[in-house]
Chains A and B, each alone.
Chain A
Amino acid sequence: DGGITQSPKYLFRKEGQNVTLSCEQNLNHDAMYWYRQDPGQGLRLIYYSQIVNDFQKGDIAEGYSVSREKKESFPLTVTSAQKNPTAFYLCASSQGRNQPQHFGDGTRLSIL
Chain B
Amino acid sequence: AQSVTQLGSHVSVSEGALVLLRCNYSSSVPPYLFWYVQYPNQGLQLLLKYTSAATLVKGINGFEAEFKKSETSFHLTKPSAHMSDAAEYFCAVIGAKAAGNKLTFGGGTRVLVKP
A92 to B46, CA, bound (A): 12
Q: B13 to nearest A CB, angstroms?
A: 20
**Would you call B44 and A90 a contact (CB within 8 A)?**
yes
**Would you call B101 and A42 a contact (CB within 8 A)?**
no
Chain A-chain B contacts (Cβ-Cβ < 8 Å), number: 61
Convert A38-71 into 0s and 1s, putting 1 for each residue whose CB lies closer than 8 angstroms to a CB of B. Answer: 0011110100101000001010000000000000
- Pick the contact of B108 from A42, A45, A58, A105 — CB < 8 Å? A42
Q: Is A17 an interface residue (CB 8 A)?
A: no
Residues of B within 8 A of A41 (CB): 107-108
Q: Is A22 an interface residue (CB 8 A)?
A: no
Interface members, chain B 99-114 (any A CB < 8 Å): 100-103, 105-108
**Would you call B100 and A106 a contact (CB within 8 A)?**
no
Q: A55 to nearest B CB, angstroms?
A: 10
A42 to B92, CA, bound (A): 10
Q: B6 to nearest A CB, angstroms?
A: 8
- Pick the contact of B46 from A43, A48, A100 — CB < 8 Å? A100
Given A31-B100, A42-B4, A90-B44, 14 new contacts (CB under 8 A) = A4-B43, A40-B9, A42-B108, A43-B90, A48-B102, A50-B100, A56-B100, A90-B43, A98-B32, A99-B101, A103-B36, A103-B44, A104-B43, A106-B43
Residues of A with Cβ closer than 8 Å to B? 4, 6, 31, 33, 40-43, 45, 48, 50, 56, 58, 88, 90, 92, 94, 96-106, 108
Q: Return 26 A-B CB contacts under 8 Å, by A number.
A: A6-B43, A33-B102, A33-B103, A40-B108, A41-B107, A42-B107, A42-B108, A48-B100, A50-B101, A58-B102, A88-B41, A97-B101, A98-B32, A98-B51, A98-B101, A99-B101, A100-B34, A100-B46, A101-B101, A102-B46, A103-B36, A103-B44, A103-B45, A104-B43, A106-B41, A106-B42
